Structures are given as C-alpha cells and as structure tokens.
Structure 1
Amino acid sequence: MTVTIGNHVIGGGRPAYVIAEIGLNHNGDVAIAKELIDVAVAAGADAVKFQKRTPEICTPEHMRDIPRETPWGTMTYLDYRYRVEFGLEQYIELSDYALLRGLDLFASPWDVPSVKFLEKLQVPAHKVASACLTDVPLLEALRDTGKPIILSTGMSTMEQIDAAIDVLGTDQLVLMHATSTYPMEPDEANLRMIPALRNRYPGVPVGYSGHERGLQISLAAVALGAVAVERHITLDRTMWGSDHAASLEPTGLTHLIRDIRIVEQALGDGVKRVYEGERAPMAKLRRVSA
C-alpha cells in the first residue's frame, strides 16, 4: 500500500520521504523558520514539519507559573509557550514560502483546536507526535479530516499502538518507528522494530523518526526498509532551546539525504545478475568457466 502526501508517494518502492522537522527550533522567529526551510530545500528534503499547540490546553497547570529564563528575559512557562507559537498569518506566510520551494509543509497538532487551525492552512497531512499517541479525542479529530496521518510510536507499547490504529484506521496511515529520548543512544534505537511493525500491520508503510546524534542509525533504518525518515534540523546545535542539541545542522542534513539516496541505490532489487563491470575481472580471474 502507498500513501500520497502532496506530490509525493510514500511506500511501494519509492525513494524514502524525508521530513525535516523544524518543530520549535525556529524559537518563535519567522525569519529563522524561513532559513530552516531554505536548509531543507538545499539538502533535498521532501517536507518540513512544525509543531502546533494551544498553550492554555497543552501546558500542565502545575507548570504554567514556573519562571523560565529565555532569550527574551524571565517569563512564566505559559508565557514562553505563547511566545514561540506562530499565528495563522505567520503560518500562511511560511506555508506559501515552503510551497513555492517545492516542499510539503505540515505539523504535529497537540490538541483538537490545533487540528482545526491546521485545517485552515489546508495542510496535505497531519503528524501525530509520540506523546499524543494515546490522546483519543485528538486522534479522532485527525481521522475525521480525511487527510493522510503519520503516526510516531515512541514511548508507546504495542497495545497502545494497536489502540491508536483502531481509531485512525490504516487507509492513509504511515507508521514511524521512534524512541523518544533526546538525544537517543544507539542501544535504544531498536531498528528491528521497522520490519516488526511492517509484519504486524501488513500494507501500512513504516518509516523512522530519529532523535540520535549522527547519521548512521537513520541510514540503517533505510537499509531495513524505512519508507520515510524524519530528523530535527537546526541552524546551530548550540542555539537556545530544548531540541537543538538532538538536531542536524545544515551540513548534516545534506549528508544524510545524500547518503540515503546512495543506500537506496545500493539496495537493488534482490535479483542476482552479472554486471557489465564484472566481465573484465571475470575474464581475468576465473579459471574454470561454467
């Protein structure tokens, strides 16, 4: 089974769909968000993804008044959450900016009003963050949009994943194996979950959402059949904010996508053949002909 997002077909032997996760790494600045979109374009990504929250819903009550040191001074945690959220006008500007550069743009909504917000943008798909996999009202709202849904499976049991899929259905679903530690260590990657998820949910495309340092694990995921790869991106890992340290800088994203395409070429089709480049060595080295 394949899933179509924008002009891209996911699964069915197509090239891996690469999502550059901007998340909140724009730090509430449209100019930084545009720079990150430019980074994604230059590297050859297929999509950029943001996160959308309604702060008064998503911020736990016990955390709202906690002081937080920010680049804009000391403010409550709730005020900080408002400070880094984009409004509709800003999202329209960013959506147009990405579209004109050939990228899909969508987001992870963290609450039902954010689903309605993103629907106003006519996004081509929605992403369910791992933290939201058990939020049934949110899943129902996403299902009811009729849009393709990408479901990350970090911090979740198989029973919880089953329950989420029971709500969402499988017709337009892409599963993403993930481990929600930031940054993730190699011994927590458990990449064999990619074929395990594929076997458990036949016909559902399975990709990989990574939070590790470096490129090797994401490349191994592609070798194991991941049909989509999502990685956080940043202009600089030393920037202020919670996700920058586990993100790829521009050169890292460029190298990742370059190497994904090389791995895809190297996987071949599984049909044994003698290549033209082997004929000269065969004539030189093989003593006994068949």
Structure 2
Amino acid sequence: MSAVKTFFIAEIGVNHNGRLDLALKLVEAAYAAGAQAAKFQTFTADALAVPNTQTVAYQKAMSGALDQHAMLKSLELSEKDHRIIAQRCRELGIEFMSTAFDKRSMDMLCDIGIKRIKIPSGEITNLPYIKDCTRRGLPIILSTGMADLEEVRVAVGAVREVQRELSVPSPALTVLHCTSAYPAALEDVNLLAMQTMARELGVPIGYSDHTLGTFVSPIAVALGAVVIEKHITLDRTMPGPDHAASIEPDELKAMIAQIREVETLLGDGIKQARPAEYEARRLVRRGLKATRVIEAGTVLQESDIAILRPASGLAPGSYETVIGRRVVNSLDAGQPITQDDLEASEGLAR
C-alpha cells in the first residue's frame, strides 16, 4: 500500500446558504463519508466587495444573484456559528478548516484553533495577505486557480521567505492545482500541471477539484496529489452559487473510497515479486532438468539438459555454464539439476 494517505478536504464553502443547521449537517456528511477535514469560507461582505459589484457568470447562473456584495452578505456565518461548527468538528473527530478572506476573519479562525491555513486562488497575487497568513506559523495550503507558473513561484517564494524567518519546519507548504471554473471542463483541467509545479517548485502538490462527478480526483492522486479538495452539498438543486458544481454525500463517500483504492494500487514503488505471485513464479518459471538418466561422472552435453517448468533446479541463465561440467551425482530423467550435482565451479546462477 502507498505510504502516503491523501488528505481529503470536504469543501463546504458557502453551501450552507448562511444557515447553521445546514452547516452542521454538511459537517456530519463529510465525516460520515471519510473526509479528514470539513472546510468553510470565512468573510464579511463589507471586507470583500463593494456594493453593486457584479457577480461572476457562474454565480449569476447558479444563484440568480446580480450583486456580489448582496450575495456574499446572505452567505455570512457569525463568529458564534463558526465556534459551534468547530466544536461539532472536534466532537466528531474531523478537522475544522476555513478560508479567511480578511485579516479579522483570520484572527478569529486562529483564535478558534485551526490547524492549517488555506489561501484561496483569488489571493495568490496578494502578497501582503499571503505573508500575514504565513506569519501565523501554521502549515499553508495554497490554491493556484487562474495563476501561471511564475505567479505561483512568487507566491511560494513569499511563503518560504516568512517560514525561514520563523524557522518553520519543512514541508509546511502544499500547493494545489486548480481550475477556477464552476464546473471545470475536462479540457481545462490540465492535471499534468501538478507535476510541473512539483518539479519546478519542489513542493508537495494537491488538487482542488471543480469538475463534475467523482473520477478526476482519483486520477490526480495517481499523479501524485497528496491533498484533494472537493465541494460538497446536501442537494445539487439547492439555490446558491456552488451547489450545482458540487457532489452529494453518497458521491463523496464513493470518491473517497476510490481514492483509498488508488492509494492501495500505487503500492510502495519497489519492483519486486508480490506474495500473490510466489506460487506462479515457482510453477511458471523454468529450471534446468536432466533429459535422461545420467550417471555420476558424466560430462554434460546440450542434449542432456532441458529448460522446463517448474523453476526447480538451476535457473536458465546457468545453461551455458553447465554444458561441459561433470556431474557428481546420478540424475533421473526430468530431475532438476542443482549446483550440488556438479563439480565445484563459479558463475552458476541459481
């Protein structure tokens, strides 16, 4: 089995629709499906957008909202809500996470006791924000939707600069590949960009999955993702900006099960026979056998030796070195020829 277990983040985001009861139900669904973390988004509309800011096309299509500020206002959770949610996560044994979109929200989350900080794709060029997040001394997960490699490199450099100042142990940074489209079309996914970032930046990588369905994230794990983030909802038909591009609890459970299967099939990377192959190796491989009754003292000729199943006797690689050797034991027809049956000689492969 793979030594790395993928850290799965169930991205609840704003799919609670501003309701604490829905938020708690989503936490319970994430836990029941096997996710390691339930993640929210923490913000105040006033600190995020000016009134009458136009909604993004997908937000408009999925929620009907035209004013981004008003939409965000309806999706806020209070500090009390956050603390109740975090407590429920602790009771269940699932990690509480949230993305903070402003300093005050980050202060609140750190006071609540988050274990890591998620920097969203939209803030990847906001270096003051990135540095402030990193100064909290917690592991960083950085999403990279809409970014090119150089922008990611600069953001990673900002994180590492602060982490060096704080003497934060490595690795304390994971970079998530992401396509910021809801839903993301398959031709826009570009999973190989994960490997590009891993190679160019020398960081652990993951994938923030905005595609429809459940099959892309397991592929990302096969390509090296150690963190997966996926939006979840109780019902895709609910009103709201992210529901339609999310998966429901049964799908979440199936996806996590698929990822665990992928981890198993990836193995440990060591090329060697597996225990399940031992019998086949013994019975399907060949060994050197006597073709007739051979008396002790006989010098072996090609006609005296056959390469036959099973693998008992010397390995076929010894064939040429055995020809011309003298046997010290009598052999029956079909009997395996072993090194003990031959005069002492070097270079015989077993």
SS at match of 2:113: coil
CA separation in 2, counterparts of 1:270 and 1:64? Answer: 50
- Contact 1:26/1:32, CA 8 A, preserved across alignment: yes
CA separation in 2, counterparts of 1:274 and 1:173? Answer: 36
Q: Which has the higher contact order (CA 8 A, sep 6+)?
A: 1
Higher mean alpha-carbon deviation, 158-167 vs 256-265, is at: 158-167
- Contact 2:175/2:205, CA 8 A, preserved across alignment: yes
Query: If each structure's strand is expressed as a fraction of its own residues, which one has the higher value?
Result: 1
Matches within 5 A, 1:67-82: 77-82=68-73
Matches within 5 A, 1:1-290: 13-63=3-53, 77-169=68-160, 171=170, 172-202=172-202, 204-282=203-281, 285-286=284-285, 288=308, 289=311, 290=315
- Contact 1:106/1:125, CA 8 A, preserved across alignment: yes
TM-score by length of 1: 0.87
Amino acid at match of 1:275: R
Amino acid at match of 2:98: A
For residues 29-68 of structure 1, the C-alpha deviation after alignment (integer angstroms, 9 at most, x for no partner) is 1111111111111111100111111211212344289xx9
Relative to 1, partners in 2 of residues 1:267 and 1:77: Cα closer, same or farther, differing over 3 Å? closer
Amino acid at match of 1:277: A
Amino acid at match of 2:187: D
For residues 200-239 of structure 1, the C-alpha deviation after alignment (integer angstroms, 9 at most, x for no partner) is 122x211111100112211110001101100000001111
Amino acid at match of 1:55: A
Instruction: State the number of aligned residues.
Output: 274
SS at match of 2:135: helix
Relative to 1, partners in 2 of residues 1:276 and 1:125: Cα closer, same or farther, differing over 3 Å? closer
Relative to 1, partners in 2 of residues 1:80 and 1:30: Cα closer, same or farther, differing over 3 Å? same
CA separation in 2, counterparts of 1:286 and 1:160? Answer: 55
SS at match of 1:90: helix
Relative to 1, partners in 2 of residues 1:239 and 1:144: Cα closer, same or farther, differing over 3 Å? same
Per the TM alignment, residue 79 of structure 1 is displaced from its structure 2 partner at its CA by 4.0
Per the TM alignment, residue 122 of structure 1 is displaced from its structure 2 partner at its CA by 1.8
CA separation in 2, counterparts of 1:59 and 1:113? Answer: 15
- Contact 1:20/1:45, CA 8 A, preserved across alignment: yes
Amino acid at match of 1:93: I
CA separation in 2, counterparts of 1:54 and 1:17? Answer: 28
- Contact 2:143/2:178, CA 8 A, preserved across alignment: yes
Alignment root-mean-square deviation, CA: 2.5
- Contact 2:17/2:240, CA 8 A, preserved across alignment: yes
SS at match of 1:218: helix
CA separation in 2, counterparts of 1:32 and 1:240? Answer: 13
For residues 58-100 of structure 1, the C-alpha deviation after alignment (integer angstroms, 9 at most, x for no partner) is 12344289xx99xxx9996534422221111110000000011
Amino acid at match of 1:242: P
Overall identity of the aligned pairs, in %: 36
Per the TM alignment, residue 282 of structure 1 is displaced from its structure 2 partner at its CA by 4.6
Relative to 1, partners in 2 of residues 1:76 and 1:190: Cα closer, same or farther, differing over 3 Å? closer
CA separation in 1, counterparts of 2:77 and 2:139? Answer: 23
For residues 138-166 of structure 1, the C-alpha deviation after alignment (integer angstroms, 9 at most, x for no partner) is 11220121111110011001111111112
TM-score by length of 2: 0.73
- Contact 2:51/2:69, CA 8 A, preserved across alignment: no
CA separation in 2, counterparts of 1:270 and 1:122? Answer: 37
